[in-house]
Amino acid sequence: MLVVMRNDATEEQVQAVIREIEKMGLRGVPMPGAIRTAVCVLGNKGPVDAALFLALEGVKEAIPVTRPYKLVSRETHQESTVITVGDVKIGGGEPVIMAGPCAVESEEQALTIARFVKKCGASIFRGGAFKPRTSPYSFQGIGEKGLKILEKVRQETGLYVVTEATDTENLAAVEKHTDIIQIGARNMQNYSLLRLAGRAKKPILLKRGMAATIEEWLMAAEYIMSEGNPRVILCERGIRTFADTTRNTLDLSAIPSIKEASHLPIIIDPSHAAGRRDYVIPLSRGAIAVGADGLLVEVHNDPTHALSDGMQSLYPQQFEQLMKEIERLKQFL
Amino acid sequence: MLVVMRNDATEEQVQAVIREIEKMGLRGVPMPGAIRTAVCVLGNKGPVDAALFLALEGVKEAIPVTRPYKLVSRETHQESTVITVGDVKIGGGEPVIMAGPCAVESEEQALTIARFVKKCGASIFRGGAFKPRTSPYSFQGIGEKGLKILEKVRQETGLYVVTEATDTENLAAVEKHTDIIQIGARNMQNYSLLRLAGRAKKPILLKRGMAATIEEWLMAAEYIMSEGNPRVILCERGIRTFADTTRNTLDLSAIPSIKEASHLPIIIDPSHAAGRRDYVIPLSRGAIAVGADGLLVEVHNDPTHALSDGMQSLYPQQFEQLMKEIERLKQFL
Amino acid sequence: MLVVMRNDATEEQVQAVIREIEKMGLRGVPMPGAIRTAVCVLGNKGPVDAALFLALEGVKEAIPVTRPYKLVSRETHQESTVITVGDVKIGGGEPVIMAGPCAVESEEQALTIARFVKKCGASIFRGGAFKPRTSPYSFQGIGEKGLKILEKVRQETGLYVVTEATDTENLAAVEKHTDIIQIGARNMQNYSLLRLAGRAKKPILLKRGMAATIEEWLMAAEYIMSEGNPRVILCERGIRTFADTTRNTLDLSAIPSIKEASHLPIIIDPSHAAGRRDYVIPLSRGAIAVGADGLLVEVHNDPTHALSDGMQSLYPQQFEQLMKEIERLKQFL
Amino acid sequence: MLVVMRNDATEEQVQAVIREIEKMGLRGVPMPGAIRTAVCVLGNKGPVDAALFLALEGVKEAIPVTRPYKLVSRETHQESTVITVGDVKIGGGEPVIMAGPCAVESEEQALTIARFVKKCGASIFRGGAFKPRTSPYSFQGIGEKGLKILEKVRQETGLYVVTEATDTENLAAVEKHTDIIQIGARNMQNYSLLRLAGRAKKPILLKRGMAATIEEWLMAAEYIMSEGNPRVILCERGIRTFADTTRNTLDLSAIPSIKEASHLPIIIDPSHAAGRRDYVIPLSRGAIAVGADGLLVEVHNDPTHALSDGMQSLYPQQFEQLMKEIERLKQFL
């Protein structure tokens, strides 16, 4: 249930609606919009009686919400959400490029790549400090040391930084040292981690699970929002199918699906989807043309010696080429 | 095995190579290129001895072919193939738009839509005369009468026409009355139909099967080419996955996969992939930006009363919008 | 709509119902059951008025059918169908074993294997004469010669024989020389072939398409039944998924799904599903325990020299072992 | 690399091998077997020189391990592992039945069901205290209170109990109060949780992720074993596919795949795979016949009023029927 207030409703009237909801043993979350406020009713198992609210002052209408998710839904929040990180706006019409190596390997490596992607026009630096790895024997990232390198990257280059929090233990450190907290595909349904991310003060970049439906993905975002963090960026990174010329199948139809169902921004990670650097440029062009709010791209100064996932990292000259193509494509939008 | 001739090799030298191949109980198919000819060895089960050919006059090299497909492979034919239908070039750099209703319903309906898509800039008219339907009780198309209507569409509008041949019985009629013969996704491994298509004199538009890998799809094209018809246009139309906000999952990474493995052109059908008209425009933009050689799009003058698949047919004003966007996007490419 | 007649309804009353249906421009197909007859209404696009039929003599009730398939549906035919081939009953409680090589290679090979599987307890011999192959350059079967060998197998061993008809051209010959006509997975939606199979006088073994839902598969069976052939045996042979230790993923839950939705018998092909001979025995046990009406198993006297799919063919001693295990398992059922 | 010791090798000789491995900067983990010990070399990135070890006393051979997993591999441990919980042996030839409600709702509910499943022959009680739920607004389990109820179930009935640890916070409590710690499908790649499970002193029941390959699943088990906990029970619970008559597709071929690749026991959860109670009995029969080491089955005294997943819980009489069928089927094995 969504209780939509009149344009001229007072804060006191909004609070009265919330008190009424709480009397029913439920929660009322105000969702302020550009021209009016709506109050979202959470915690009900079945339908809630609209008449109760319509009788209150300042209430315009009470709309039953038909989807299982509420806070992330475009039904409850019609305008697209723009997430601001410093002077970067994600979801604001201009695609945002997040680029960097799969893993932070050293200060020198990170700074070299960061300066390069900055020069090419990227606004956010990506790099893993904690790496979730299929094998316990694989390189697991350099941990906290990597976070400090990311902080240095921000100081030296002015790029904002995003990195993955792989568990409830390292999320606080990731929040402290970086600008955007990534939740990886394997953790999309790690509800303890989602809840903690929901109490963080930084935006969350939530990757789609390899076998997650659009609804399950939005429910994961709902976990974050229901804890109080409204700043969620969705990231499609390929789904698991029978197709075998790419590591995963990039599902670009997720963009219109998300735009229809939710007000949250969505970006695309072509590097993990394809698993092959040669497909990253064409798929990036496709993502932007379909309407993605940004890209998350892997680039490395020396892919053949990368400690992690070199196969899918762009060579510097390829990244430069990508940025030129995106720049031209932006004029089309 | 691919026997590559020298630039200055004579026709007689090419024939000598073919005779040598035939002596081994195999087939030799000449593949003329812009600067040199190669001869493809077909029918061998294991490796063929290169030395035999290197000794012949005019032979530059003999390359073992590592893929199971040969004639469709870029290994055997490096330049991209351009398929010409009248003055329309498919694969020639400019995306080709094929548009029309799911099914030809009447002369008036077909002509109304054809005139409209022509005005908007489409160059090929699509419309089903024979419809492959999941249910024996569904509308199966108007058959031969539809083919005659398609012929009239060409005469009246100058648009070339493409329609599906659903079996070995109606392929000859489709070939006679139309310009491009479509083989549908359900028939991608109907080998008798593929063989017959390989003996036709018109280009074949070969849709990808719902669960076909890139290799299986190219093998289906190989069936057509191995019978002598070199004019095959591949068409991606969505693969079957667990994702449930679209009818199928459009696999745009098929474009770089095909471009890498084959010299054949590839177009995209966003209508059947999405199954929802509202996703057709963004997915079409994505397809063109990734590098598709064209689009196959459903449009109907009155989708709500369409006899077939109205849900995915664009309204005329949507098609007009699509064509404007493609026109602008082409300037970027 | 299903018009259910009273137990004591006369043939004349049934005919009167059919005439009434025909007056509405629809088709009425009588479905005689053990204790009463029902008349299935085909061809309607929307609901049909039940009142019209309830007024007729001998009519017990008129039930709206909610599934898109009708003749194959358990709603229209509650008792499980038993398909009789000579003295073999498929669907009659006792699992039927169909075994033999992937391809008929020679009279000697076929007879050797046939005598062996007969001795072990199989009742039907399988072997491909026409082979649908992904590659145009692969062994395509020995064709009509193979059909004659199959006929000889029946004469010499008393086994009934099943083989695949791969197109509308060879279906008549398959019907003439063999006892059961197989439609392969790749042809599950080859509607011309299904229609022709529907006019054949022999039972049809219909394999599930690699990406077919249960409903699509039953609709394919409906094509056959709607042409007048009520003898359809369904065969699950693995579906295409991301799993990679088997060629396809055997979906044994298809057995309860089919038993719930349809009255037709269902058998399992573990050989093509697994693609590896070592999995065939455990998966066969599983299939029988879940409730399959039979098995279609590949066995070869010399798998390492088989012309086709040797990797998945059982060695003779493995087949003997399988038959012993099935024999013991039958006592459990 | 696996360093296999001679039958008569002394403990001192084993320690000498481990010291040699540590000198190389790697880890050596002794794997005692029935007749000899092997030492597994962990941490190497490339091949390790066998000659180094063959020169040591007591060493029989040094075998390169070709799979990415080691401790879970049958290559390193040929005998099947039997996991003992009290007097229950999992993997010991006799299938073990674990049964109970989806969620522990109250002491009365749990005890009622536990007494019933005990009477029918189950040896382990299952019931969720912490429930991982797709929606933040769904019933999340009764938490620690549920663990205490499970402890009471054990005291009153003598059944051992298994329940899910959903995060690193509640794993210690689950370990304290119960006998087997379940890691759910959504957490199969939650590496922090896996590592913590690897340091627990109780067996781990590790469910397969919805889109996990056999190799990824075994790598998750390897995480647990590499931390020192050798007692891992694998549990197949359906994979995500396009099939739509069940919630997931039960992959019974996972049983031979696991048995071939690993020495760990594997059980089957037909309830979550099918998502429908009516399919649980046939699929359970199939699982046992294929060779599963046990079943994890949901049963509820009042499914229609269950707080969680009532749709897939067996009615008591159905569970009784299941146990009778399994009892008979065991005689076949």
pLDDT in tens, C212-231: 999 999 999 999 999 999 99
A231-283: per-residue pLDDT in tens?
999 999 999 999 999 999 999 999 999 999 999 999 999 999 999 999 999 99
Choose the mutation target among C290, C318, C329 for the interface with D, i.e. most D CBs under 10 Å: C290
Sheet (strand A2-5) strand order:
A27-32, A37-42, A2-5, A59-63
| Angle, alpha carbons B229-B83-B259 (nearest 5°) | 95
What does the pLDDT read at residue A266? 98
| Region of poorest pLDDT, from A135-139, B152-156, C88-92, C144-148 | A135-139
Cα C2 to the chain's mean position, in Å? 25
D56-105: per-residue pLDDT in tens?
899 988 877 767 888 999 988 899 999 999 999 999 899 999 999 999 99
Contact D239 C239 (CB under 8 A): no
B142-164: per-residue pLDDT in tens?
999 999 999 999 999 999 999 99
Strand partners, A164: A182
- Tracing tokens 């994979």 back to the chain, one arrives at D239
What does the pLDDT read at residue B1? 81
Strands D232-236 and D266-268, bridge-based pairing: parallel
Give SS3 for A197. Answer: helix
Mean pLDDT across chain C: 93
Q: Is the pLDDT score of C264 beyond 80?
A: yes
Answer yes or no: is A280 within a domain.
yes
In this structure, what CATH number is given to the domain that contains residue B20?
3.30.70.1140
HSE-up of residue B65 (Cα within 13 Å, Cβ side) = 25
Quote the crossing angle between the two packed helices A214-226 and A191-198, to the nearest 10°.
50
Answer yes or no: is C125 within a domain.
yes
**B284: nearest CA in chain A?**
A290
d(CA B104, CA B111): 10
Whether residues B158 and B300 fall in one domain: yes
Answer yes or no: is B70 within a domain.
no
Whose CA is closest to D298, among D153, D122, D156? D122
Smallest CA–CA distance, residue C1 to chain A, in Å, is 33
What does the pLDDT read at residue C101? 96
d(CA D191, CA D193): 5
What does the pLDDT read at residue A27? 84
- Tell me the chain C residues in contact with residue B167 when contact means C-beta distances shorter than 8 Å: 168, 190-193
DSSP per-residue codes, C275-322: -SGGGHHHHHHHHHHHT-SEEEEEB-SSGGG-SS-GGGPBPHHHHHHH
What does the pLDDT read at residue A34? 66
- Tell me the chain D residues in contact with residue B240 when contact means C-beta distances shorter than 8 Å: 242
C49-60: per-residue pLDDT in tens?
888 888 889 998
Whether residues C123 and C48 fall in one domain: no
Number of domains in chain D: 2
Phi, psi at residue A40, to the nearest 5°? -95, 130
Mean pLDDT across chain B: 93
Choose the mutation target among B240, B242, B247 for the interface with D, i.e. most D CBs under 10 Å: B242
What does the pLDDT read at residue B24? 86
Give SS3 for C239. Answer: strand
Whose CA is closest to C191, among B192, B205, B166? B166
Neighbours of chain C (3+ CB pairs under 8 A): A, B, D
Contact D136 A169 (CB under 8 A): no
Choose the mutation target among C210, C252, C253, C257 for the interface with D, i.e. most D CBs under 10 Å: C253
Q: Is the pLDDT score of C298 beyond 90?
A: yes
Contact B135 C43 (CB under 8 A): no
Whether residues A91 and A41 fall in one domain: no
Whether residues C57 and C88 fall in one domain: no
Confidence of residue C300 (pLDDT cuts 50, 70, 90): very high
**Mean pLDDT, rounded, for C125-140:** 90
- Tell me the chain C residues in contact with residue B195 when contact means C-beta distances shorter than 8 Å: 136
Nearest to A242 among B213, B285, B288 (CB): B213
B252-268: per-residue pLDDT in tens?
999 999 999 999 999 99
Q: Is the pLDDT score of D32 beyond 80?
A: no
Answer yes or no: is D213 within a domain.
yes
d(CA B168, CA D27): 65
Q: Is the pLDDT score of D31 beyond 90?
A: no
| Amino acid, res. D28 | G
d(CA B315, CA B292): 23
D154 near D167, Cβ under 8 Å? no
Question: What size, in residues, is chain C?
Answer: 333
Tokens of C328: 């013991």
Whether residues B124 and B20 fall in one domain: no
Whether residues C215 and C263 fall in one domain: yes
H and E: helices and strands count for chain B: 11, 14
| Region of poorest pLDDT, from A216-230, B28-42, C67-81, C293-307 | B28-42
Confidence of residue C255 (pLDDT cuts 50, 70, 90): very high
Smallest CA–CA distance, residue B242 to chain D, in Å, is 5
Phi, psi at residue A17, to the nearest 5°? -65, -45
Tokens of A257: 């699906």
Choose the mutation target among D1, D76, D186 for the interface with A, i.e. most A CBs under 10 Å: D186
What does the pLDDT read at residue D34? 66
What does the pLDDT read at residue C34? 66
What does the pLDDT read at residue B34? 66
Nearest to B251 among A249, A255, A289 (CB): A249
DSSP per-residue codes, C5-64: EPTT--HHHHHHHHHHHHHTT-EEEEEE-SS-EEEEEES-SS---THHHHTSTTEEEEE-
Phi, psi at residue A235, to the nearest 5°? -140, 110
Please tell me what DSSP assigns to residue B26.
-
Answer yes or no: is D268 within a domain.
yes
Q: What is the pTM of this model?
A: 0.90
Whether residues A48 and A188 fall in one domain: no
Contact B279 A251 (CB under 8 A): no
Residue that is last in its domain, among C18, C35, C63: C63
B16-61: per-residue pLDDT in tens?
999 989 888 888 888 776 677 888 888 777 778 888 888 889 998 8
| Region of poorest pLDDT, from A256-260, B303-307, C232-236 | B303-307
Helix (H) or strand (E) holding D270: helix D270-274
Confidence of residue B84 (pLDDT cuts 50, 70, 90): very high
What does the pLDDT read at residue C326? 96
DSSP per-residue codes, B115-141: HHHHHHT--EEE-BSS---SSTTS---
A117-127: per-residue pLDDT in tens?
999 999 999 99
A176-204: per-residue pLDDT in tens?
999 999 999 999 999 999 999 999 999 99
**Buried/exposed code over C184-210 (b: 16+ C-beta within 10 A; e: otherwise):** bbbbbbbbbbbbbbbebebbbbbbbbb
Smallest CA–CA distance, residue A332 to chain D, in Å, is 36
DSSP per-residue codes, A117-176: HHHHT--EEE-BSS---SSTTS----THHHHHHHHHHHHHH--EEEEE--STTTHHHHHH
Tokens of D310: 């009532």
Whether residues A184 and A111 fall in one domain: yes
What does the pLDDT read at residue A304? 82
What interface predicted TM-score (ipTM) does this complex get?
Answer: 0.88
Q: Is the pLDDT score of A168 beyond 70?
A: yes
Which residues constitute the domain of residue C218?
83-332
Smallest CA–CA distance, residue D123 to chain A, in Å, is 30
Whether residues A107 and A208 fall in one domain: yes
Q: Is the pLDDT score of D304 beyond 90?
A: no
Contact D286 C282 (CB under 8 A): no
B269-288: per-residue pLDDT in tens?
999 999 999 999 999 999 99
d(CA A238, CA A246): 9
- Tell me the chain D residues in contact with residue C244 when contact means C-beta distances shorter than 8 Å: 213-214
Q: Is the pLDDT score of C38 beyond 70?
A: yes
B157 near B167, Cβ under 8 Å? no
Q: Is the pLDDT score of C287 beyond 80?
A: yes
Mean pLDDT across chain D: 93
Contact B251 A243 (CB under 8 A): yes
Answer yes or no: is B128 within a domain.
yes
How far apart are the two ends of chain C, measured CA to CA in Å? 36
Choose the mutation target among A239, A290, A325 for the interface with B, i.e. most B CBs under 10 Å: A290
Answer yes or no: is A229 within a domain.
yes
Q: Is the pLDDT score of D29 beyond 70?
A: yes
Whether residues C158 and C129 fall in one domain: yes
Whether residues C38 and C93 fall in one domain: no
Contact C167 B190 (CB under 8 A): yes
In this structure, what CATH number is given to the domain that contains residue B289?
3.20.20.70
Cβ-Cβ contacts under 8 Å for D206 (sequence gap 6 or more): D183, D188, D197, D217, D220, D221, D224, D232, D233, D234, D235
Q: Is the pLDDT score of A46 beyond 80?
A: no
Contact A256 B328 (CB under 8 A): no
What does the pLDDT read at residue D86? 96
What does the pLDDT read at residue D83? 98
d(CA B40, CA B164): 30
What does the pLDDT read at residue B309? 77
| Region of poorest pLDDT, from A145-154, C165-174, C284-293, D134-143 | D134-143
Confidence of residue B175 (pLDDT cuts 50, 70, 90): very high
Contact A289 B289 (CB under 8 A): yes
Question: What percentage of residues in chain D have a pLDDT greater than 90?
Answer: 75
Smallest CA–CA distance, residue B26 to chain A, in Å, is 31
Whether residues B106 and B195 fall in one domain: yes
D242 near D96, Cβ under 8 Å? no
Neighbours of chain D (3+ CB pairs under 8 A): A, B, C
Smallest CA–CA distance, residue C243 to chain A, in Å, is 8
Smallest CA–CA distance, residue D187 to chain B, in Å, is 20
Smallest CA–CA distance, residue A235 to chain C, in Å, is 22
Answer yes or no: is B69 within a domain.
no
